Amino acid sequence: MMNPISKTAYYTLGVRAWDAALPSPICSDSFAKIFMNDDAQKVWKEFKDQSRPNMSNAARHAIIDNQLRSVFSEAPDSRVVIIGAGFDTRAYRIKGGKWIELDEPSIIEYKEAKLPTLKCPNALTRIPIEFSKESLIEKLQPYASQEVTHIIIEGVLMYLTHGERQKLVSGLQELFPRQIVYCDLMRKSFFERYSKELYEKIRSLGASFKDLVEQPEDIFLGNSYTMLGCTSVPLYAVQHGKDGLASFIIRYFLKTLREGYRICRFEYIKSND
């Protein structure tokens, strides 16, 4: 059985399959359709009318895609760890990288059947983990490294309590003393103003957001990370969706929307003191 949070992976999968079929896709995940089974179609049917959130979901994925391409252009052998990978296909779509994916056994098994690691053009390791029963840090212990590790935490943090976020961050610092984190951060004000309808659909899958705050970046800044930059997900979505008017309005008038949901990058380098 797939846990409730993992069920949301079918939603994000449906978004990328939908986006890839558009005349001008934002993300262009041509592999997504491979995984669109009956369960995925059933979930997508409930979300496909959420046009703006769907564009933003495709945008957040594309933003990280582009950031990783920039990394690989200078360091093609960089290591990437994806926590709660879902149906992520970046290892197949992006040239470069040594990839590690972690998610529930049911997802890993299904991905391996449809898109085997042996067919991946880059080095790829998939690690099954039952998040409710097993330790993420213990699962990653064999892969601890002093080399710079790029860690993707996409569509995950809003489902964790503050304590769970703290435990995750502390554990990752122990394993990877030199790291760059890529994550989506949602402000409480953004959620309250723009995400209630979408959230009700997410709750219908059995998942729920936890401990939303107005400064979600503090979980990193308060743990010795340095912010490298943030990109507005809604603004990127309308810009690449070719909606010039919406882009102008969001950029200059809708601060809560523009800054409320962002992809942020944080760097951590362990001090020798």
For the segment 222-235, the average pLDDT, to the nearest whole number, is 96
pLDDT band, residue 7 (cuts 50/70/90): confident
**Residue 241: pLDDT above 90?**
no
Residue pLDDT, tens place only, 124-148 = 999 999 998 999 999 999 999 999 9
pLDDT averaged over every residue in the chain = 93
For the segment 104-112, the average pLDDT, to the nearest whole number, is 94
Residue pLDDT, tens place only, 66-78 = 999 999 999 999 9
**Chain-centre distance for alpha carbon 207:** 16
For the segment 167-183, the average pLDDT, to the nearest whole number, is 97
For the segment 22-29, the average pLDDT, to the nearest whole number, is 94
CATH code of 4-267, in short, is 3.40.50.150
132-169 burial string, b = 16+ CB within 10 Å, else e?
A: eeeebeebbeebeeeebbbbbbbbbbbbbeeeebeebb
Query: How far is it, in rounded angstroms, from Cα 143 to Cα 233?
Result: 31
Task: Name the phi and psi angles at 150, rounded to 5.
Answer: -95, 120
Structural domain boundaries in the chain: 4-267
How many residues would you count in the chain?
A: 273
pLDDT band, residue 116 (cuts 50/70/90): very high
pTM exceeding 0.85: yes
**Chain-centre distance for alpha carbon 181:** 11
